[in-house]
Amino acid sequence: MKVAITNDHRGYELKKYIIKHMKNIEFVDLGANSKEFSDYSTKGIELGEYVVKNKCFGVAICGSGIGISIACNKVKGVRCAKVDFIKEAIVSRRDNDANIVAISGEKSFERAVRIVEEFINSDFSNVDRYKKRIKQINEYESK
């Protein structure tokens, strides 16, 4: 399985850990490659575009996980969930068919790996009410 991953400077160490410790995943690294300042905004948008174009999952990491999730969600077709807990990773896939998970760079490394594993391994429920809501979001155009 191929998964795109990105980070800003505050997510650099966590990204390296995730890539190293998730052996069964082929990561496409779109993130910053050092702790030198980088903008989460451009990294999130780039990840969102990659995920939509390549129909794959994405992992986004910044200091809080919030800013990069907002940036990802600016890309049409992205459903990025900012996740702190394993249950949220599962629910974001099951009920919302999220295609990107956003994590705080301050999250414990082991918990972050578990969150990514659960996110990637969880399936969308395909329940009609959830499909309807996702369609409403995908078709929304601001006036």
Average pLDDT in the chain: 97
pLDDT at 143: 79
DSSP conformation letters of 14-77: HHHHHHHH-TT-EEEE-S-SSSS---HHHHHHHHHHHHHHHT-EEEEEESSSHHHHHHHTTSTT
Q: Give the global pTM.
A: 0.96
pLDDT at 120: 98
Mean pLDDT of 17-26: 96
**Which CATH homologous superfamily contains domain 2-139?**
Sugar-phosphate isomerase, RpiB/LacA/LacB (3.40.1400.10)
pLDDT band, residue 115 (cuts 50/70/90): very high
**Per-domain boundaries in the chain:** 2-139
pLDDT band, residue 45 (cuts 50/70/90): very high
- Look at residue 142 and tell me whether its pLDDT is greater than 90: no
